[in-house]
Amino acid sequence: MSHIRKGLAGREVVFVDGVRTPFGKAGDKGIYADTRADDLMVKCIRELMRRHPELPAERVDEVAVAATTQSGDQGLTIGRTAALLAGLPQSVPGFAIDRMCAGAMTAVTTTASGIASGAYDVVIAGGVEHMGHHPMGSGSDPNPRFLSERIVDPAALNMGNTAENLHDRFPAITKERTDAYAVASQRKVAEAYEAGDIQAALVPVASKKAGQGWTLNTVDEPPRPGTTMEDLASLRTPFRAHGHVTAGNAAGLNDGATAALLADAETAAELGLPVRMRMVSFAFAGLAPEVMGYGPVPATLKALEKAGLGIEDIGLFEVNEAFAVQVLSFLDYFGIADDDPRVNRYGGAIALGHPLASSGVRLMTQLARQFEQDPSVRYGLTTMCIGLGMGGTVIWENPHHPDFGTDVSAEAGATAGEAA
């Protein structure tokens, strides 16, 4: 398909920068066991502002922060409270948002829509999840009608069960394939760390634990470099006897925060803010909750249609690895090989972790760095499955590509007309 310079209606939205805390393991032994969720978010906001002294703090028009469990230390309208705690002017408003795993992604797309319409010039959008303090679903009270009226399959309320359901639907995705994918994710993360590609986005976080004093956390806690197929073969399948999903081929329970700086293109130029990506389109889609892991497929189809692109135009993919089977079902649908070098070049959540509402911006920061390293790629996408049967996809354009800023199809038409 020819490259068409389409995008959001209205002003152009650009991704200026993204940062995140190192991700930790949830629980009493994790690095953030005694650290507040809102303090993790504050670290990210402060780091964005520190990295961009050319941005006057009063020019930030909105702070949108996502959290799946909006209570305790990640409640109280965390977008506003984190902005105040980070030292932004009191004139800068903020709000909280929830779309489970795609919280940060939705914070980005929601504020991007505001930029496109002219409501905002500059925003901060991100997410936080402290699964040690707030286990998934804690404090929730699902309406009994979900089950009594069979609105939702009981399996849909447990993400591990939904992954096993995908294995049922796609028998060609074997446990061996998911384990091999997981091993590759661990290897790619180790290689990306060796090359310094992951550390570039990390905000050092000091944490204190009783009896241990202070520690400066500068790397992710979950990765297990050197993981082998033999290691994974011995793991139990907790969601189903003789099943496929294990702790080794799925993301763990994690703590962490992310934040991105977005602007309209003209404001970025006015302030001298760097442009690392341009948002082309985004889409969210729903599907049966019991196979929520398949959500990236319909969401990507919608986003591609809105962008006027085909899957063949996408040169880089950042697919959230909630479960290996979820990624593989996406790749199989689009005819992409398990080991395609365009997919998750730095590895993914199976190794790095998936602190629910924060993960969407991690995908974006990784894609932005890959764009810088590979100017031959014009378009990339970030996509993820979402609990209760949804998927989300954002398509981005690489400002380092030689055709950035042009409408190739229009140029081709003009050339044809001149020739005639």
Please list the active-site residues: 101, 354, 385
Residues whose CB is less than 8 angstroms from the CB of residue 93 and which lie 6 or more positions away in sequence, other chains included: 61, 62, 63, 80, 83
CA distance linking residue 170 with residue 176, whole number of Å: 14
| Contact criterion met (CB below 8 Å) for 31 and 24 | yes
Q: To 5 degrees, how large is the angle CA 376–CA 364–CA 247?
A: 115
State the Cα–Cα distance between residues 399 and 387, nearest whole angstrom. 33
What are the structure tokens assigned to 76, written together? 């109280």
Does residue 397 contact residue 301 with C-beta atoms inside 8 Å? no
**What is the torsional sign of CA 43, 49, 50, 51?**
positive
Q: 159-169 vs 324-333: helix axis angle to the nearest 10?
A: 40
Q: Which residue has the tokens 């091999």?
A: 180
Which residues are bridge partners to 63 per DSSP? 94, 124
Phi and psi, residue 311, nearest 5°: -60, -25
**What is the residue-wise DSSP string for 295-350?**
THHHHHHHHHHHHT--GGGEEEEEE--SBHHHHHHHHHHTT--TT-TTB-TT--HH
* Residue closest to 293 by CA, chosen among 317, 329, 318, 248: 329
| Contact (CB, 8 A) for 84 and 90 | yes
Within 10 angstroms of residue 359's Cβ, the number of other Cβ atoms is: 33
What does the alpha-carbon distance between residue 23 and residue 257 come to, in Å, rounded to a whole number? 8
Closest CA to 78 of 108, 59, 69, 120: 69
List CB contacts of 252: < 8 A, sequence separation 6 or more: 25, 26, 222, 353, 354
